[in-house]
Amino acid sequence: MVDTVVFGMCTRNEEDVVRKTIRAVRNQTHPPDHVYVCDDSDDSTPDIVRDELEGSGIPFEVFHQERYDGHGGARQELYERARSVDPDVICMLDANNTIGDDWLESILRFRAENPEYDVLTGPECDTGIHREAPSPHDPLYYRHAAIAFDADLLETVGGWDPDFGRGEDWDLALRMYRAGSKVFTSTQWCSRYVAPDPPDLTRKRIARNPTSVPYLAKYGAWYLTFHPAQVLKDLWSVCFYALFLLGLAAIPVGVGFGLLATAVVVGCGFVLAQRRYEGDSDQPANRLERPLYMLLFTAPAVARSCRNVADGRYRT
């Protein structure tokens, strides 16, 4: 029996790239049974999607994001629509990515031969990787650009958490891991960017990155033991701000210069640690600019996350 497959995609002002992405779905050697697109655009993106899918023979629906906000909300709305057709497999594809024509055919063939794996995803192209990804600490455990989920797994974990405007992928990866999911990654399922992300988008993403606070609120002490590095980096940034502000307040006093110097040392240490943690990248924003942005934005983000927790978000 052949699996029933749904493709889901979130779009927001993607008119420059989405046509190639939709064509990659339309041209699959094994076409999906349904395509759902959750859109939050104020440009021609939804019209382009409809234009590409009409006449393809693939049932599709383009709908406006309404129930939830952010990335997690959009993916959850897609998931709730996908459940209505009772699929076996739910695939998610980012709107700025393309996949090979045999991507889905290869996914289904691997599933038939290896039913123990319930999540299949691709690493960077041209790496030759073909292996299991054991936990969320493995960067290949959850590559959301092009990924296929067993629908039963998503039913077990409840889909995406709409409280996470960003960081929804990490949250889902944690719940997948705790549910005992098995993930396999292979370059045959990789995706390629249609166009590189602009630097300002990278900065916006960093500014909205989630801190450890929502995960600690949701998972408690388990998260501290599972991923202490993020908690420590958040504390690092908060300490930098505290030392810097205290130093400014005490500048007329000799201790102020000591506090400022300590803040500089803490900040430099944070940048170096962030670079080591994330690894070097060919993108200039990831070499020095990204760690600096992380240092400057993390402490305010911690305060914002604490306010969200106080408002009742991120409940288990």
pLDDT of 138 higher than 50: yes
Q: Which pLDDT value is given to residue 290?
A: 58
Whole-number pLDDT of residue 285: 43
171 has a pLDDT exceeding 80: yes
Q: What's the whole-number mean pLDDT along residues 171-180? A: 97
CATH 3.90.550.10 in the chain, residues?
5-195
Query: Using 50, 70 and 90 to split pLDDT, how confident is the model at 241?
Result: confident
The pLDDT of residue 281 is 44
What pLDDT does 183 receive?
Answer: 98
Cβ pair 33, 85 in contact under 8 A? yes
Distance of alpha carbon 83 from the chain centroid: 21
Query: pLDDT (tens digit, 9 = 90+) per residue, 54-86?
Result: 999 999 999 999 988 888 999 999 999 999 999
pLDDT category at 155 given cuts 50, 70, 90 is: very high
Q: What is the pLDDT of residue 254?
A: 66
User: What residue type is assigned to position 52 of the chain?
Assistant: E
3-state SS string for the chain: CCCCEEEEEEECCCCCCHHHHHHHHHCCCCCCCEEEEEECCCCCHHHHHHHHHCCCCCCEEEEECCCCCHHHHHHHHHHHHHHCCCCCEEEEECCCEEECCCHHHHHHHHHHHCCCCCEEECCCCCCCCEEEECCCCCCCCCCCCEEEEEHHHHHHHCCCCCCCCCCHHHHHHHHHHHCCCCEEEEHHHCEEECCCCCHHHHHHHHHCCCCHHHHHHHHCHHHHHHCHHHHHHHHHHHHHHHHHHHHHHCCCCHHHHHHHHHHHHHHHHHHHHHHHHHCCCCCHHHCCHHHHHHHHHHHHHHHHHHHHHHCCCCCC
**CATH, range 5-195:** 3.90.550.10
Does residue 205 contact residue 169 with C-beta atoms inside 8 Å? no
- In the predicted model, what is the mean pLDDT of residues 287-291? 56
Whose structure tokens read 């939830």? Answer: 68
Rounded to whole angstroms, how far apart are CA atoms 74 and 81? 11
- Predicted pLDDT of residue 284: 42
Question: Which range, of 11-25, 106-120, 255-269, 275-289, averages the lowest pLDDT?
Answer: 275-289
Exposure of 98 in the CB half-sphere (CA atoms within 13 A): 16
The string of pLDDT tens digits covering residues 180-216 is 999 999 999 999 999 877 666 655 666 667 889 999 9
Alpha carbon of 129 to those of 121, 123, 186, 188: distances in Å? 11, 7, 5, 9
Summarize pLDDT for 7-61 with one digit per residue, the tens: 999 999 999 999 999 999 999 999 999 999 999 999 999 999 999 999 999 999 9
Q: How confident is the model at residue 287 (pLDDT cuts 50, 70, 90)?
A: low
pLDDT of residue 239: 81
Q: Which of 104-113, 164-173, 175-184 has the lowest mean pLDDT?
A: 164-173
